[in-house]
Amino acid sequence: MPSLTEWKVPPAYQPRPGDYGFDLDRVLASVVGLHSIIPADAFSADMLGTERAGNGVLIDDGLVLTIGYLITEAETVWLHLGDGRVVEGHALGLDFVSGFGLVQALGHLDLDPLPLGSSAATQIGDRVVVGGAGGRTRSVASHIAAKQEFAGYWEYLLDEAFFTYPAHPNWGGTGLISNRGELIGIGSLQLEREREGKAEHVNMIVPIDLLNPVLDDLRKFGRVNKPARPWLGMYSTEIDNRVVVIGISAKGPAARAELKAGDVILAVNGEKISSQSAFYRKLWALGPAGVDVPLTVYHEGVTFDVVLTSTDRAKLLKGPRLH
């Protein structure tokens, strides 16, 4: 395959060493390229593909932090270093709550880990670097444009996420680097927002403070060692204060209940909802994965009640294997 780092960020958006009080090149060397291969019959293959590429950040001896969707069900992971070396990795762990993924390098990286900073201490307007694999020419000089709640259509919710501008064009697994040269987040998405009548792209970044409570579990068990949240296999969005189903996972509880795109979720366990975040919080408050989830649904002029038996999404995924 072609090099993961052939492209370059436009020079006007690249960070300049003199603008920061740390060794920019040394810090960015801790960001590596990541390329994963997923079996064609994997649960996530249809939506996320069988070949995924992005970035990761070395945070400990051989331990690379990335965004989880890049390594979900990966049977092979390759880490691409700035000097051209390629080292095999092992998909070590996933946290569905934060979205973080961990990769263990199976060879020596000979790089300095990037120290972890405090995302809570970061303020709107702070200058940051969104670091990609390949150094300055593949990184973006950015700033914190917003800190706010983020709800994702795939049953995902962050109480507070970072949003950075300008956006990194190869955002997955990028390292959000503070003005102290510390890692304060991992890139997840690129989104569009309206500002002063114009559309502009921002990156959604998962804050690093979400890693500390789960890191030991991910190292030891590959997942957080507590009951999983209930999962319905339902993709939804919020339209005019209504939660509208936009897709159904083929093997999930929502599919078994014959819910369909276009259905509107009116209530969870009899409690009315009008936002995605309220939907998720009421769903997760019912209990761990396996709990019955009573929904009130509107479909083509008809309102009805249905009970879905939730599941643990991890049970549908292929586990990582060491070759």
- For the stretch 274-294, pLDDT in tens is 999 999 999 999 999 999 999
Phi, psi of 68 (to 5 degrees): -65, -35
Whole-angstrom Cα distance, residue 189 to residue 67?
10
What domains can you pick out in the chain, each with its CATH number? 1-225 (2.40.10.120), 234-316 (2.30.42.10)
**Beta-bridge partners for 268:** 271, 295
Question: Mean pLDDT over residues 186-199, rounded?
Answer: 90
pTM: 0.95
Q: Mean pLDDT in the chain? A: 95
pLDDT of residue 7: 85
pLDDT of residue 288: 98
pLDDT of residue 1: 35
- Please give the structure tokens belonging to residue 75: 């049977």
Answer whether residue 301 shows pLDDT above 70: yes
Contacts of 270 (CB under 8 A, 6+ apart): 294, 296
Answer whether residue 260 shows pLDDT above 70: yes
Lowest model confidence (mean pLDDT) among 2-6, 35-39, 185-189, 307-311: 2-6
pLDDT of residue 239: 96
CB 198 within 8 A of CB 192: no
Phi, psi of 271 (to 5 degrees): -100, 120
Other CB atoms within 10 A of residue 119 CB: 24
CA angle 169, 184, 321 (to 5 degrees): 75
pLDDT of residue 321: 63
Question: Mean pLDDT over residues 180-194, rounded?
Answer: 95
CB 18 within 8 A of CB 29: no
Bond preceding residue 17 cis, omega within 30 of 0:
no
pLDDT of residue 322: 58
pLDDT of residue 2: 39
Whole-angstrom Cα distance, residue 142 to residue 176?
9
The pLDDT tens digits of the residues spanning 120-171 come to 999 999 999 999 999 999 999 999 999 999 999 999 999 999 999 999 999 9
**Beta-bridge partners for 102:** 65, 93
